[in-house]
Amino acid sequence: MIGSFTFENLPCRVVFGSGTLSAAPEELQRLGAKRALVLTTPQQEAQGRDLGSALGPPFAGIFSNATMHTPVEVTELALAAMKDCDADCIVSLGGGSTTGLGKALALRTGVNQLCIPTTYAGSEMTPILGETRDGLKTTVRTNDVLPETVIYDVDLTLSLPPALAATSGINAIAHAVEALYARDTNPVISLMAEEGIRALARALPAIVAKPDDREARSDALYGAWLCGVCLGTVGMALHHKLCHTLGGTFDLPHAETHTIVLPHALAYNAPAVPEAASRIARAIGSPDPARGLYDLARRLNAKLALRDIGMPEIGIDRAADLAVTNAYWNPQPIERNAIRALIERAWSGAAPVAPPVAA
């Protein structure tokens, strides 16, 4: 039986396919943009300049210093670049770091954003902006930061190295996993979440085996879009809280942290959410969804232990303390000893197990 629910459709135009980057000039015109500032990271500057040339007259300039976690000092430099070229629109080309900068600029200036994602992080589908000031990350949620138009071009993801595709893809799966058991989940989001997980779980091993597999790259980007919608539409829980805490406290890489923590967070929550667990199991083709995600990460040659990405062992207790402060909703009660055991397993790379509190 379908119970009662609220579903909010976020306003965003999506153009998906191969070669869709060529639609960028037309999409800018649709937005009424006359002078566009292109944003990239230093690593993607050349790609940004090529895009600028393809945009023609509306190309007003490029800012190529987008940085992970959206430091406000970088945003201020980008604001100055906007002013210098009198930009009335932002075109962000890149992963979550570049999208984040575009959102920070839109928040401060109200300009429209054309977002062209090249990873699977999903930020382009969310009204969420995380910014860092003096090392502290704060998050705001407002439709003012939601990009007006998103172009997904599968061709741009072909250069995403398989290792990055693997962890970025599992980062996306994490959004859908938590959406399936979100307090405010709904039947439409559950459809998108299950399909997003299925598309990525099928595509990622194929990409790692054959990085130029266009069909797999297309499936992965499609799955990432669906998972991004999940993140933008319903609330997250333990997994995202843990990754936020661990990433911020120990300066751990975003997608790798998600990849390592997800099987453990799901093992913790699965006993409390049997229907979500069975949908995830079905989507990844494994009877035990947490173990299935752990095995998927292993098949993708991803790192399985937080100690291998820079977390010190003495940080386990601190992380457990932080994870149980500031109460937040989770389908399974948050219990410190069980959370500490979860973090310890993720730190050492052990296989996920359900917590004793589930009994």
Shortest distance, CB of residue 15 to ligand NAD, whole angstroms? Answer: 17
- Binding span for ligand NAD by CB under 6 A among 73-81, 159-167, 181-189, 289-297: 159-167
Q: Can you tell me the distance from the alpha carbon of 192 to that of 176, in angstroms, rounded to the nearest whole number? A: 8
- Binding span for ligand NAD by CB under 6 A among 26-34, 120-128, 270-278, 310-318: 120-128
**Residue among 48, 52, 58, 95 that touches ligand NAD (CB under 6 A):** 95
> Which pairs with CB-CB distance under 8 Å and at least 24 residues apart come from 45-52?
47/93, 47/118, 47/156, 48/93, 51/21, 51/24, 51/91, 51/93, 51/116
Shortest distance, CB of residue 44 to ligand NAD, whole angstroms? Answer: 4
Which residue's CB is nearer to ligand NAD, number 119 or number 269?
119
Cα distances from 296 to residues 197, 206, 281, 287, 345, in angstroms, run: 12, 12, 12, 13, 17
**Residue among 123, 149, 269, 330 that touches ligand NAD (CB under 6 A):** 123
Other beta carbons within 10 angstroms of residue 61's beta carbon come to 15
Which residue's CB is nearer to ligand NAD, number 102 or number 352?
102
Cα distances from 294 to residues 76, 159, 231, 290, 352, in angstroms, run: 40, 25, 21, 6, 7
151 and 114 in contact (C-beta within 8 Å)? yes
Amino acid in position 205? P
Which residue's CB is nearer to ligand NAD, number 118 or number 330?
118
Which residue's CB is nearer to ligand NAD, number 114 or number 277?
114
Q: Which two tokens stand for residue 102?
A: 């575009």
**Residue among 48, 58, 96, 196 that touches ligand NAD (CB under 6 A):** 96
Residues 222-281 that bind ligand NAD (CB under 6 A): 231, 254-255
Residues 164-183 that bind ligand NAD (CB under 6 A): 164, 168
Shortest distance, CB of residue 231 to ligand NAD, whole angstroms? Answer: 6
Residues 24-53 that bind ligand NAD (CB under 6 A): 41, 43-44
- Give the three-class secondary structure for 16: strand
The number of C-alpha atoms within 13 Å of 220 and in the hemisphere containing its C-beta is 33
Shortest distance, CB of residue 153 to ligand NAD, whole angstroms? Answer: 10
**Residue among 64, 75, 112, 157 that touches ligand NAD (CB under 6 A):** 157
Q: Which two tokens stand for residue 18?
A: 């191969």
Which residue's CB is nearer to ligand NAD, number 58 or number 228?
228
Asked if 75 is part of the footprint of ligand NAD (rule: CB under 6 A), the reply reads no
Which residue's CB is nearer to ligand NAD, number 116 or number 354?
116
- Residue 169: CB partners within 8 Å, gap ≥ 6? 120, 200, 203, 204, 207, 220, 223, 224, 300
Amino acid in position 40? T
The span from the first CA to the last CA of the chain, in angstroms, equals 27
Asked if 132 is part of the footprint of ligand NAD (rule: CB under 6 A), the reply reads no
Shortest distance, CB of residue 68 to ligand NAD, whole angstroms? Answer: 5
- Give the three-class secondary structure for 37: strand
Which residue's CB is nearer to ligand NAD, number 163 or number 324?
163
Asked if 130 is part of the footprint of ligand NAD (rule: CB under 6 A), the reply reads yes
Residue 151 phi, psi dihedral angles, 5° rounding: -105, 115
How does DSSP classify residue 196? Answer: H
Which residues of this protein are in contact with ligand NAD, per CB under 6 A? 41, 43-44, 68-69, 94-98, 100, 118-119, 121-123, 126, 128-130, 156-157, 159-160, 164, 168, 231, 254-255
